[in-house]
Amino acid sequence: MLVVAAALGVAFSQTVLAAPAAALAGNPLATASSLPFHYPAFDKIKDEHFIPAFNEGMRIQLKEIDAIANSKAAPSFDNTIVAMEKSGALLTRVQTIFGNLQGANTNDKLDAIDSEMSPKLAAHADAIYLNAKLYARVKSLYDKRTALKLDAESEHLLERYHTDFVRAGANLSAADKEKLKAINGTIAKLQTTFTQNVLKETNASGLVVDTREELAGMSPAAIDAAAAAAKAKGMDGKFLVAVVNTSGQPPLAELTNRAVREKLMALSLARGSHGGEFDNREVVLKIAKARAEKATLLGYENFAAYSLEDQTAHDTASVNKLLSELAKPAVNNAKKEAADLQAVVDADKGGFKIGAADWAFYTDKVRAQRFAFDENQLKPYFELNNVLTNGVFYAANKLYGLSFKERKDLPVYNPDVRVFDVFDADGKQLAIFIADMYARSNKQGGAWMNEYISQSSLLGTHSVVANHLNIPKPPAGEPTLLTYDEVKTAFHEFGHALHGMFSNVKYPRFSGTSVPRDFVEYPSQVNEMWAVWPEVLANYAKHYKTGEPMPKELLDKVIASKKFNQGFLTTEYLSASLLDQRWHQLTPAQIPTDVLGFEAQSLKDMGVDFAPVPPRYRTTYFSHSFSGGYSAGYYAYLWSEKLDADTVEWFKENGGLQRKNGDWFRAKLLSRGGTDDAMNLFRNFRGRDPVIEPLLERRGLTGK
C-alpha cells in the first residue's frame, strides 16, 4: 500500500520563499532540517510545534499564492506554474512530517491536532484551487500551451495543473464554490473521525481469554506475548490476542479451539458496527453522502465517476467490467476450495460446516496434505534482518546496483526504527531509507510507504522514503520470524520505495509515486517476484539457528502452492473492491440508512455473498475506502496486477535478475514518476499494451 502525506494537490517545495513569522522562533519545523537530505530532526520535533507551524505554513502559502494571482505581469509558465510549484515550503514540511507520524506513531495529542487541522487544510486547498484570478492565469496558459513550446515535462505539468483546478471546482459559480468548500470541510473531518475510530476500535477489540489452553496451537512465544499484552492493560493472568485491520486474523490459522476461533472472527467482523464510541456506521453514511454531493456539484453522476476519470481505468464501466468478469470464477474457485476444507473437517469427524473462522486453520491442513508442508515450516528461514538486508536489499543490488549502509546517528521517532543510506551504482548517495517494521498500538494497521522528502531537480532535493509494516514484535531475545505473506509484503513495500528513490524528475508535482492510484501499486507488485527468485531466496532464506539454507524441496513446494487458495484470496479482495464501488456509485438520493443491510445486499447482488469468505475489509473498518486514500479505488490492486503479471513475464523472457533488465525498467518507468500518461510509460517499457492472460494464469482463473 502507498500512503502519500497529503500535499493538497499542489506540489510544494522544500525551500522557504517567505520567512516564517517570529511566532515560530525555536520551532524546528520553521526551516528545512540541516540533517543529510533534510532528514527530519525527530529528536527536536514536539507535538506542540505542529499547530503554530501549520497555521504559519498556510499563512505564508496564501501570501505566495496571492502574489502569483495578483501579479501585474502577464502570465508565463515561470511566474505562474513554476511559482506554484515553489510555494508552500513550510506547509508541506509540516504536513508531511505530521501525516507520517500520525500514521506511524500517533498519540492523543496528534489525534486532536488531526481533528482540528483536517478541515482547515481542506479549506486552505479550496482557497488555492477556487481562486478565480489564479485559475484565470492557469487557463490562459493552458489555452495557448502549444504556442509556448514547452518541453514535454513542462507541458504535461501545465496540463496537469489545469486538470487539477477544473476537478477542484474552478469552473463553478461563486455560490457553488461556497457549497463545495463546506462539503470538502465536512469530508475532511469525517475521514479523520473514521480513521481514528478504526485504530481505537482495533486497539479495543483484542480477544481476551483466561487460560493458555484456550490458545492451543499458537507458539509458546506468541502465547507469552499475549500474556504480556494483557498484563500491560491491567489484566494480569489473562491473555490478550490483538487484532489487525483485515477481516482475517493471523492466529486463526493456528488456534485449535474452534470456539476461540469463532470468537476472534466474530470480534473482527463486528468492528465499527456494534455500538459504542467507535461505531463507524453513521460516519460511513455521512461520508458516502458528502462525496456523492460533491460529485453531483462538480457535474458527475457519482463519486466513483469523478474519481475514476483521473485514473488509468477512466470510468466506472471499465472497473465494473473487470470486477464482474472475475467475480464468478473467483467464487467458484472458493467454493471448490471450501469443499476440500470440508472434506478434512468431515474426515476428522468435526461435525460442523466450514465457516470463516475455520478457513485459515483448515487451509493449512489441506496445504500440508497436498504439498507436504505448512506455513510454520517456512518461518525459521525468514528472519527479519536476513529478509531485509540479504533479501530485499540484495535483490535491489543485483537488479539496480544499489548498496545500503545502516547508520545509527540520525534521530528516530521510535527505537525500533532503522535508517539506511542508499547508494547508486556509481557510488553516489541516492536516498535515505527508513524501515519501521514492528506493530505498535499507536500505529495504523497494514503496510505502507511514504516519503518525508521527495526528489526534484527544480528544488535540488533527494528522496527520504519510509516503509512501514506491522510485524508482531517478539519478546526480548527472541528472533523475529516472518510468515511468507510478511516476506512478500516487505518486498512489495520496497517496490514503492524504489519508485520514490529512483525518481528523476524536475517538478515535485511528478515526483516518484505521483501517478494514478490504479498504477501506483504496479511497480511494488512487480518487486514481489524477487522474494522467491532462486538466487535471491538462497541468499536470505537461511535457518535462524543453524544458518542452513531452506531445502530446495521446501521451496519447490512453496512455488507449487502459489495458486493454492487463490479462490479465497481473489474473492475476499473482489468483495471489498465491489463494496468500495457500490458505495461510491450511489447518488445522494440513493444513500441507504442501514450500512450492514446495504453491505449484505450488495454482496448478494454481485454474487460474492459466500459466508466462509467475508470481504477483506467490511465497510466499517475499510480504511482504504473511507479514509480518503483509495476511495472508489480499491480495485487498483487488481488493475495494477494485470500490468504486474505481464511485466513478470517480460523479466522472465529477458533473463530475470539482471542489471540490464533493472536498468531498463528504471529508465523507462520507475524514474519517470508522473511525467507522462501512465499507460504510455508502460508501453514505452513493454513495447505494447498489457494483456490479461498472465494475471488469469497466476490467479488460477483459466480453468487449467
Query: What DSSP letter does each residue of 443-468 carry, written as one string?
Result: S-SS-EEEEEE--BTTTTB-EEEEEE
What separation in angstroms does the CA of 597 have from each of 451, 452, 602?
39, 41, 8
Output the 3-class SS for 375-421: HHHHHHHCEHHHHHHHHHHHHHHHHHCCEEEEECCCCCCCCCCEEEE
Domain layout of the chain by residue ranges: 36-170, 205-270
In CATH terms, the superfamily for domain 36-170 is Endopeptidase. Chain P; domain 1 (1.20.1050.40)
For residue range 18-58, list pLDDT tens digits in order.
Answer: 455 667 999 999 999 999 999 999 999 999 999 999 999 99
Long-range contacts of 477-481 (CB under 8 A, 24+ apart): 478/221, 479/383, 479/384, 479/544, 480/383, 480/384, 480/385, 480/437, 480/438, 481/379, 481/380, 481/382, 481/383, 481/384, 481/544
| Residue position matching grid coordinates 459559480 | 173
- 627's CB contacts (< 8 A; 6+ apart) are 191, 194, 195, 198
SS3 295: helix
- For residue 7, what pLDDT is reported? 38
pLDDT of residue 552: 84
Q: Which residues contact 19 (CB under 8 A, 6 or more apart)?
A: none
Secondary structure (H, E, C), 167-194: HCCCCCCHHHHHHHHHHHHHHHHHHHHH
What pLDDT digit, counting tens, does each position of 290-318 carry?
999 999 999 999 999 999 999 999 999 99
Which residue carries 530485499 as its cell? 392
pTM of this structure:
0.89
> How distant is the alpha carbon of residue 115 from its chain centre?
21
Amino acid at 147: A
Q: What is the 3-state secondary structure (H, E, C) of 38-60?
A: HCCCCCCCCHHHHHHHHHHHHHH
Rounded distance between C-alpha atoms, residue 621 and residue 271, angstroms: 7
Please give the biggest Cα pair distance in the chain: 84
Q: At what angle do helices 636-653 and 316-347 cross, to 10 degrees?
A: 80
Res 2: pLDDT = 39
Phi and psi, residue 428, nearest 5°: -80, 145
From residue 442, alpha-carbon distances to 203, 445, 647 in Å are: 9, 9, 37
Residue type, 396: A
CB 193 within 8 A of CB 620: no
Report the 10 Å Cβ neighbour count for 609.
17
Q: Which residues pair with 383 in a beta bridge?
A: 481
pLDDT of residue 556: 83
In this prediction, the residues of the chain whose per-residue pLDDT falls under 70 are 1-22, 703-704
**CA–CA dist 22, 44 (Å, integer):** 18
Contacts of 350-357 with CB under 8 Å at 24 or more apart are 350/258, 352/258, 354/612, 355/262, 355/265, 355/611, 355/612, 356/247, 356/248, 356/265, 356/269, 356/611, 356/612, 356/613, 356/614, 357/252, 357/258, 357/261, 357/262, 357/264, 357/265, 357/266
Dig out the grid coordinates for 453 from the structure.
522528502
Beta bridge partners of 241: 207
Size of the chain in residues: 704
CB 412 within 8 A of CB 39: no
Please give the pLDDT value at position 11: 36
What amino acid positions are annotated as catalytic residues?
A: 493
Question: HSE (CB half, 13 Å, CA atoms) of 661?
Answer: 19
Question: How far, in Å, CA of 679 to CA of 665, rounded?
Answer: 14
**The pLDDT of residue 557:** 83
Confidence (pLDDT) at 558: 79
- What is d(CA 281, CA 55) in angstroms, rounded to the nearest whole number? 32
Give the whole-angstrom CA distance, residue 203 versus residue 271: 11
Q: How far apart are CA 616 and CA 248, in angstroms?
A: 7
